[in-house]
């Protein structure tokens, strides 16, 4: 029986992954710092803050795992390459695979892609002095893991998803638009809505992670896991409206005005969901298809699953006062 350690496992991608591992009959242990385990009684547990290097070493001392899935990032404090290296070193004995969930953000700085161009896994990664913690930490972690692979044969694999969507999404993303569509609200769209976006279903990331663990030749490799080709912001809105059986009413507003009036990317009031108006980075999934047999779920099918889950949740009232002020300013222009 495969012994798998999932660093995280209680939220979103982690939940999708643990479900699949349990379905495979694996012996699963979660390492997390919370007290909620949605798989209580079905998995082992290690309560530990993965950013605490000494605590991680102590917590896994004497334990052996065949596969480790590392998909946790601390959004408040960051998670550095040094912190991931401590976990990797602590579980290295007898390890068959270490699967690290990275991000498309490792390809910063953002460069406008030529029409039809998508980045391969050979594209340059974010610099060690990148001012943005997230791409810098993810890139430095990947470099560290591949250095360990080159120097010691450490069996690391990294996955680079773009925007992850699906049931149980903790970010205010798909739900942002469905709230407004069901309330028959106009939806603010920055500029002409032509910025490209790319997505992957959380369950598809889980499937890719397991394939990376099972594929012998995957060690030492990075994989872009995504739906391809990318879509525009307006195409996203149309897709979300379609599964909700609603008609979208986009209102185009200059990005500068949205920001000047207090709209947020990372904190409320969100003007186009949480993080959804970033400069685009698009990637090719050709390597993952070829080497892992990765086949992403169609976007319409994935959104349908997410909307079904959304419909089972209690809807809370949404404060649209800020958006109304923006709409009034546009009407008065």
Q: Given this model, what pLDDT does residue 112 score?
A: 57
Residues 57, 105, single domain; the answer is: yes
* Crossing angle between the packed helical segments 299-311 and 174-182, to the nearest 10 degrees: 70
Do 193 and 246 share a domain, yes or no? yes
What mean pLDDT is predicted for residues 294-319?
97
Q: Report if residue 331 sits inside a domain.
A: no
58 and 35 in one domain? yes
Residues 208 and 242 in one domain: no
The SS3 assignment for 206 reads helix
One domain, residues 238 and 273: yes
Q: Which pTM value belongs to this model?
A: 0.96
Q: Are 107 and 81 in the same domain?
A: yes
Residue reference for tokens 């994935």: 302
Q: Do residue 148 and residue 192 come from a single domain?
A: no
Could you write out the DSSP letters of every residue in 291-317?
HH---PPPHHHHHHHHHHHHHTSPPPP
Residue-number span of the structural domain to which 182 is assigned:
167-197+229-281+297-325
Torsion, CA 288, CA 194, CA 107, CA 284, rounded to 10: 20
Domain of 32, CATH number, reads 3.40.50.720
Residue pLDDT, tens place only, 24-49: 999 999 999 888 889 989 999 999 98
Contact predicate 149/142, CB 8 Å: no
The pair of structure tokens assigned to 326 is 């923006």
- Do residues 188 and 301 share a domain? yes
Torsion sign (Cα): 133, 134, 139, 140: positive
Q: Is the residue at 289 inside a domain? A: no
Q: Are residues 260 and 218 in the same domain?
A: no
Q: What's 260's domain CATH number?
A: 3.90.25.10
Query: What's the domain count of the chain?
Result: 2
Percent of all residues in the chain with a pLDDT value above 90, rounded to a whole number? 88
- CA 264 to CA 58: how far, in whole Å? 40
| In-domain check, residue 119 | yes
On whether residue 243 sits in a domain, the answer given is: yes
Q: Tell me the per-residue pLDDT of 201-251, one tens digit each, with 9 for 90 and over.
A: 999 999 999 999 999 999 999 999 999 999 999 999 999 999 999 999 999
Residue 330 belongs to some domain of the structure: no
Name the residue with tokens 């009407």. Answer: 331
Helix axes 174-182, 233-244, angle to 10 degrees: 60
Domain assignment of residue 333, yes or no: no
């Amino acid at each position: 029986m495969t012994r798998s350690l999932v660093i995280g496992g209680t939220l979103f991608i982690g939940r999708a992954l643990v479900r699949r591992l349990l379905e495979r009959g694996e012996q699963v242990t979660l390492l997390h710092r919370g007290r909620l385990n949605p798989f209580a009684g079905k998995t082992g547990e290690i309560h530990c803050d993965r950013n605490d290097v000494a605590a991680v070493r102590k917590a896994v001392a004497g334990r052996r795992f065949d596969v480790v899935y590392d998909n946790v990032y601390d959004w408040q404090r960051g998670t550095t390459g040094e912190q991931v290296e401590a976990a990797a070193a602590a579980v290295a004995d007898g390890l068959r695979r270490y699967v690290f969930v990275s991000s498309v953000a490792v390809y910063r700085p953002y460069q406008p892609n030529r029409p039809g161009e998508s980045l391969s896994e050979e594209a340059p990664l974010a610099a060690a002095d990148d001012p943005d913690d997230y791409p810098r930490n993810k890139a430095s972690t990947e470099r560290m893991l591949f250095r360990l692979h080159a120097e010691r044969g450490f069996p690391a694999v990294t996955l680079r998803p773009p925007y992850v969507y699906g049931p149980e999404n903790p970010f205010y993303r798909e739900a942002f638009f469905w709230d407004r569509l069901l309330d028959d609200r106009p939806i603010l769209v920055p500029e002409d809505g032509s910025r490209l976006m790319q997505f992957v279903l959380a369950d598809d990331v889980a499937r890719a992670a397991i394939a990376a663990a099972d594929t012998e030749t995957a060690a030492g490799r990075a994989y872009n896991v995504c739906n391809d080709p990318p879509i525009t912001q307006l195409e996203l809105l149309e897709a979300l409206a379609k599964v909700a059986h609603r008609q979208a009413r986009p209102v185009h507003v200059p990005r500068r005005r949205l920001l000047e009036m207090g709209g947020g990317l990372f904190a409320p009031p969100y003007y186009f969901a949480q993080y959804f108006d970033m400069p685009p980075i698009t990637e090719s999934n050709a390597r993952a298809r070829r080497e892992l047999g990765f086949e992403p779920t169609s976007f319409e099918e994935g959104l349908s699953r997410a909307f079904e889950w959304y419909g089972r949740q209690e809807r809370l009232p949404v404060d649209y006062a800020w958006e109304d002020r923006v709409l009034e300013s546009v009407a008065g222009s």
